[in-house]
Amino acid sequence: MSIKIYHNPRCSKSRKALDMIKKRITHFEIVEYLKKPLKINEIKLLLSLLKIKPIELVRIKELVWKENYKNKKLNDNDIINAIVHHPKLMQRPIITNKNKAIIGRNLEKVLDIIN
């Protein structure tokens, strides 16, 4: 099984991406990262697959970010630790397929990675 979706059921974009995957693929893995938060090494792997910096993975409009991290001088490890401690800070959905990953807010990108 190579396709994996990091999913938040409360997010409409995440639900749409999951529906799209379900219609096209029979075997895939759903990771509900709010129920089982990711570890540091898992986030680092996602970052390398996405080819982005940790701050690009953060939902900077989330209240927890604004209250605890905004306007602070943070290095990459600080940001990764913030995501570990507050999983809802992570952009969603993320879809991986073998050695590639995307943030699936754009459904066309979801189609590209699952085909």
Catalytic sites, residue numbers = 11
Strands (E), 1-115: 3-6, 29-31, 94-97, 100-103
φ, ψ for residue 12 (rounded to 5)? -65, -40
What is the DSSP code string of 25-50? -SS-EEE-TTTSPPPHHHHHHHHHHH
Burial degree of 18 (CB within 10 A; 0-12, 13-18, 19+): buried
